[in-house]
Amino acid sequence: MKVDVDEELCCGSGLCVVNADQVFDQREEDGTVVLLTGDPAPELHGAVRAAASVCPTSAIKLVE
């Protein structure tokens, strides 16, 4: 699975962090998403899919 994020679309909700904090973080100064790894381990794939699906602005792009 390859993961990418669109910082322009991101509204800073942090729901990605809640779902998969080993893959996503938030910038301290404005809460915008920070991608920790674009190639997460298989055991994290479920959590990453959940994060992508709850993101309010569909800012997480997955290629499986």
CA distances for 45 relative to 1, 24, 28, 54, 64, angstroms: 7, 13, 25, 14, 10
Q: Which is nearer to another protein, 19 or 40 (CB)?
A: 19
Q: Which is nearer to another protein, 14 or 45 (CB)?
A: 14
Nearest approach, Cβ of 48 to another protein (angstroms)?
A: 14
Residues interacting with another protein, by CB under 8 A? 8-9, 11-14, 17-18, 21, 26, 28-32, 50, 53-54, 56-58
